[in-house]
Amino acid sequence: MERASPAAGKLNAGGRGAGDGHGPAGGAQPRAAAGSAEPGELIGRALDFKSEGAQCYKDKKFREAIGKYHRALLELKALLLLLSQEPAGQRPPAAAAAAGGLSEEQRQAVEAIEVDCYNSLAACLLQAELVNYERVKEYCLKVLQKEGENFKALYRSGVAFYHLGDFNKALYYLKEARSRQPTDTNVIRYIQLTEMKLSRCSQREKEAL
């Protein structure tokens, strides 16, 4: 999903942003080998795939959206290879871009694409009938490594930790999200649910003593 999209949940846990979350879909490869493309071309293709993913998400074609976002990230991996000549996956594309020959505008574009794609993949995952909350958490934490105040990633991290049973971490991320958007009803609702869980856990511990 594009950054302009607000967030929602499944209680609207999915956010109003936009994978089945199993790494680049189907082992697909970038359209052109890294050595045969220019950085600007790879960035442009990544942007195109990201935009196609956003449209698929709007059309509720979540699996197709997942594939498009993974293809966008694959184009950035090709860019990593072009800039660093290191095996794919050794450094995130934005890190390689920072060390390579990109302009400041191009480096910012690479980071923005990464953040948007991971945020959107998390949102797609949250639309699944059986949600892979571990993968949602993974994608959201990737976003927060780059943008520690990203509201959607904070909220979805809280949702993921809640459903994974880590209520202390859930409450931390949800409160961080609330500090950015104090009136968001989904955040408030998940905070209430999390505090209820923590209260019950505390009560059970007292009864066990």
3-state secondary structure of 192: helix
- Confirm whether 142 is domain-assigned: yes
d(CA 113, CA 125): 18
pLDDT of residue 36: 60
Q: Which two tokens stand for residue 33?
A: 């080998």
- Confirm whether 209 is domain-assigned: no
pLDDT tens per residue, range 162-203: 999 999 999 999 999 999 999 999 999 999 999 999 999 888
- Confirm whether 109 is domain-assigned: yes
* Residue type at position 128: A
- Confirm whether 70 is domain-assigned: yes
pLDDT tens per residue, range 88-133: 455 566 665 555 678 899 999 999 999 999 999 999 999 999 999 9
pLDDT of 7 strictly over 60: no
- Confirm whether 55 is domain-assigned: yes
pTM of the model: 0.77
Which residues have C-beta within 8 Å of that of residue 188, sequence separation ≥ 6? 178
Q: Which two tokens stand for residue 136?
A: 């949602």
Q: Which domain holds residue 71?
A: 25-147
Question: Count of domains in the chain?
Answer: 1
d(CA 190, CA 175): 10
**Residues 47, 4, 57, 129, CA torsion sign:** positive
Which residues have C-beta within 8 Å of that of residue 106, sequence separation ≥ 6? 39, 40, 43, 97
- Confirm whether 189 is domain-assigned: no
Q: Would you say 188 and 174 are in contact if contact means Cβ atoms under 8 Å apart? A: no
Q: Compute CA 170 distance to the chain's CA centroid, rounded to the nearest angstrom.
A: 17
pLDDT of residue 92: 64
- Confirm whether 44 is domain-assigned: yes
- Confirm whether 102 is domain-assigned: yes
Q: Residue 108 sits in a domain of what CATH number?
A: 1.25.40.10
